[in-house]
A and B are shown apart, each in its own frame.
Chain A
Amino acid sequence: GQQLNQSPQSMFIQEGEDVSMNCTSSSIFNTWLWYKQDPGEGPVLLIALYKAGELTSNGRLTAQFGITRKDSFLNISASIPSDVGIYFCACVSGGGTYKYIFGTGTRLKVLA
């Protein structure tokens, strides 16, 4: 089936550092979403990308929709301890119903 590959799987960074993670697919998608899951909670939407090449920011977060429509990147600037969690990319598989495909996640740990 369709898969989204996220890298890295996990990362430890120092507070204040910038973070980059990416998500790739063998298929083309027209929408990319980035979610964050805090420990013990459900995923929460961070950024939605609707157009190839689009660069969108949400505070310290910036995400880009790859021009090939097969990848996306999420950057976090000046990380803080509350950035800890799992970050998921997701795409809509389409076909008239909103069936979502999720990546396996990038687990971020921030060292104070």
Chain B
Amino acid sequence: NAGVTQTPKFQVLKTGQSMTLQCAQDMNHNSMYWYRQDPGMGLRLIYYSASEGTTDKGEVPNGYNVSRLNKREFSLRLESAAPSQTSVYFCASSEAIVVDFGQGTRLTVV
């Protein structure tokens, strides 16, 4: 039981490049989330998926897209990376009240 698995763990992009962050959970959770964490800002919700087949914007969705590929997988895509998207990204999943997090992806956009 691996919980929530994110890949990659680290990534450096040039401005304008695109990439997809992958996330998978093996806990059969319905809800999945993408957060970004910046110093002094806590965790801010980018997008979430309440259940398979649905996605909704969170607090800071601009510049991102998501895909809920199936119940297990929820990917986050940056179409044209910007330096402001330098951050640590966390995928999470939940079934009831408690949310479980992945280990994070540290993304740097230069």
Contact = CB atoms under 8 A, between A and B. Distances in A.
Most buried by A among B92, B99, B100, B104: B99
Contacts, number: 58
Interface residues of A, number: 25
Interface residue SS majority, chain B? strand
Interface residues of B, number: 27
Residue of A1, A40, A98 with highest tally of chain B CB at under 10 A: A98
A48 B42 contact: no
A40 B103 CA distance: 7
A25 to B, nearest CB: 13
Interface in A54-111: 88, 90, 92, 96-100, 102-105
B43 interface: yes
A100 B99 contact: yes
B103 A42 contact: yes
Given A41-B103, A88-B43, A103-B42, A31 B97 contact: yes
Q: Binding site of A, secondary structure by majority: helix, strand, loop or mixed?
A: loop
B2 interface: no
* Nearest 7 Cβ contacts at the A-B interface: A42-B101, A102-B43, A104-B42, A97-B50, A102-B42, A43-B101, A42-B103
11 contacts: A33-B98, A41-B104, A42-B92, A42-B102, A50-B97, A88-B43, A98-B99, A100-B99, A102-B43, A104-B40, A104-B42
